Amino acid sequence: MARRKVAILISGRGSNMAALIEAARATDYPAEIALVLANRPDAQGLDRAREDGIGTAVVNSREHKSREAFDAALDTTLKSAGIELVCLAGFMRVLTADFVNAWRDRLINIHPSLLPLFPGLETHAKAIAAGVKIHGCTVHLVRAEVDSGPIIMQAAVPVLLGDTPDTLAERVLTAEHRIYPLALSMVADDSIRIVDERVVVDDPPQETPAQTVISPLFG
């Protein structure tokens, strides 16, 4: 099977971008990181992508008068590069419904909570304030409503006594780096189906990282 061409969208340093790039180095990985695209020309992740010989592009959000105009430029850039799948990795833009629908089931995001708990920002502070004992991250297909969409994979981490938002964030980020590449591989090799807006895994991985929870809806 030909490797699927993937674009990673970033706004900053792109730590999850780096994890995806490393995973895609494997010759048997079903996706190729073909483009790293930022909405800010000073995004640090662009330098990392260039060092790895990956094509880069900037669609500067400040140069577009509306969300619709920005998303249209984004769509044009992705299609011109022959992109098949898009991964959001710290991309600090809310995408329009038209863009999301145009890339339906080909647009993937990672969120630092166990969705549907704690959508939005400051998820680690919210988790500590709520007194939950388990926190984590979620890889999901994107829908027009922010932080929603069929869940591909989740990883859970404990909330420890004395945790701060920073210490909890560090533990969750380690889990993000572990599951995002695995989730992308499942989408790229067509191991999942969407049934009633839920992910069904036809060919679950033979090995799963510790503390990873995969959708139990096996076909």
Q: Are 73 and 61 in contact (CB under 8 A)?
A: no
Catalytic site includes residue 177 = no
Burial pattern 60-85, b for ≥16 Cβ within 10 A else e, equals: ebeebeeeeebbbbbbebbeeeebbb
Query: Among 16, 91, 70, 11, which residue's Cα sits nearest to residue 44?
Result: 11
Alpha helices in 65-196 (DSSP H): 67-80, 97-102, 123-130, 165-188
Spot the catalytic one: 111, 124, 135, 140: 111
Rg (CA), the chain: 17
Q: How many CB atoms lie under 10 A from the CB of residue 106?
A: 17
Query: Among 88, 108, 99, which residue's Cα sits nearest to residue 192?
Result: 108
* Cα 8 to Cα 48: distance, rounded to the nearest angstrom: 12
Question: Which residues are identified as catalytic?
Answer: 111
